[in-house]
Amino acid sequence: MPEGLEAEIWRGACEPLIGRTIVAADVDERVAPFAFAHVVVGATIGDVRRVGKVVLLGLLPTGEQTSRSIGLHFGMTGRLIVDGVAAIERLSYASGRDAAQWDRCVLQTDPAPAAGVGTPALRFNDPRRLGRVTIDPDLSRLGVDIFDVTAAALGAALGRRQIAIKTALLDQHVVAGLGNLLVDEMLWRAGLDPHRPAATLDQREVRRLAEMIRRRLPIMLRRGGSTTGALSPDVRSAPHACARDGFPLRRETIGGRTTIWCPGHQH
DNA sequence: CGGCATGTTTCGCC
DNA sequence: AGGCGAAACATGCC
């Protein structure tokens, strides 16, 4: 479920962790680097940031060690439970149980959560285990962040690429934080056919797309994330008419991902 | 049971 | 060399 909006919600949920010291880390070694626990235990969380779909817990420098950060990459099904509370419940695999067997990284802190010493400060829960917990993730090649998109940045990033605009927008080196749902939503809002080669968008269309991203993201963030658009999971999973013009929505695969779009107004 | 999934990386073919 | 699509990863849900 995690796209940039979910990461942003979880970033906010992690803010109470600032100033706490990690006293224990129980990690599934299949999703974390060697010696992860060794690196983070004893460190104090200094700040919490987000870049694209990644949540970053900044660690204050200790003694000989330079400052480091924990990167949380959620994959398809990762999610966070902070101080015993899941900031987002409206997720797949969240129906009913959030099984402890799917916990891939559990952090205990000092001070402990108000909920009690037995409650982990952070649980990285991921059934499919496509997510990753990293140390000092390389973010240097990511594109402009979703909340910083401008027409100029978007135009430059799309460049002369001939790949479908749908595929280009999913590339994190172009825009960091857009996922499959958000891309379909923004193309629907901007009235752009997802098959269009990226380079064929003229300036006016790039401006319109950037404007939709800039305007809709804060609204969807307030409403609860990537699932709150006109092309909600409910709309995506069964045949629906376009909410804008009544045209039957089309469902097809573009760039390997299921794409929902309206042939009536997306050109 | 078959198909599908809000993501990223890798492989192989132009 | 670089771009691109398919496959792989891993597991649960409908």
Q: Give, for all 267 residues of chain A, the pLDDT tens digit.
A: 699 999 999 999 999 999 999 999 999 999 999 899 999 999 999 999 999 999 999 999 877 677 799 999 999 999 999 999 998 776 556 554 678 999 999 999 999 999 888 899 999 999 999 999 999 999 989 999 999 999 999 999 998 888 999 999 999 999 999 999 999 999 999 999 999 999 999 999 999 999 999 999 999 999 999 999 999 999 999 989 999 999 999 999 998 999 999 999 999
Residue A257 CA, nucleotide B11 C1', distance (Å): 19
Distance A44 CA to B13 C1' (A): 49
CA of A140 to C1' of B12 (A): 27
Q: Which of A94, A191, A183 is nearest to A146 (CA)?
A: A183
Q: Is the CB of A160 under 7 A from strand C?
A: no
CA of A22 to C1' of C2 (A): 44
A112 DSSP 8-state letter: P
Task: Note the CA–C1' distance, A97 to B5, in angstroms.
Answer: 18
**Which among A188, A196, A213 is positioned nearest to A255, based on CA atoms?**
A196
Burial class (CB in 10 A: 0-12, 13-18, 19+), A56: buried
**Per-residue model confidence (pLDDT) at position A117:** 86
C strand bases under 7 Å from protein CB:
3-14
Using the CB atom, is residue A129 less than 7 Å from strand C?
A: yes
Q: Using the CB atom, is residue A128 less than 7 Å from strand B?
A: yes
| Structure tokens, A120 | 């982990």
Determine the angle formed by the axes of helices A151-158 and A203-223, rounding to 10 degrees: 110
Q: Residue closest to C11, CA→C1'?
A: A128
**Which pLDDT value is given to residue A165?**
95
Task: Indicate yes or no: strand C within 7 A of the C-beta of A92.
Answer: yes
Checking each nucleotide's C1' against the CA of A160, the nearest proves to be C3
What's the pLDDT score for residue A152?
95
The whole-model pTM stands at 0.95
Please report the pLDDT score of residue A63 as a whole number. Answer: 72
**Count of beta carbons in the 10 Å neighbourhood of residue A155:** 18
The whole-number pLDDT of residue A96 equals 47
The helix (H) or strand (E) run that includes residue A254 is: strand A250-254
B5 C1' to A29 CA distance, Å: 24
Strand C closer than 7 A to residue A196 Cβ: no
| Chain A 142-201, CB < 7 Å to strand B | 170, 172, 179-181
Q: Distance in angstroms, CA of A128 to C1' of C8? A: 14
Is the distance between the Cβ of A195 and the closest atom of strand C smaller than 7 Å? Answer: no
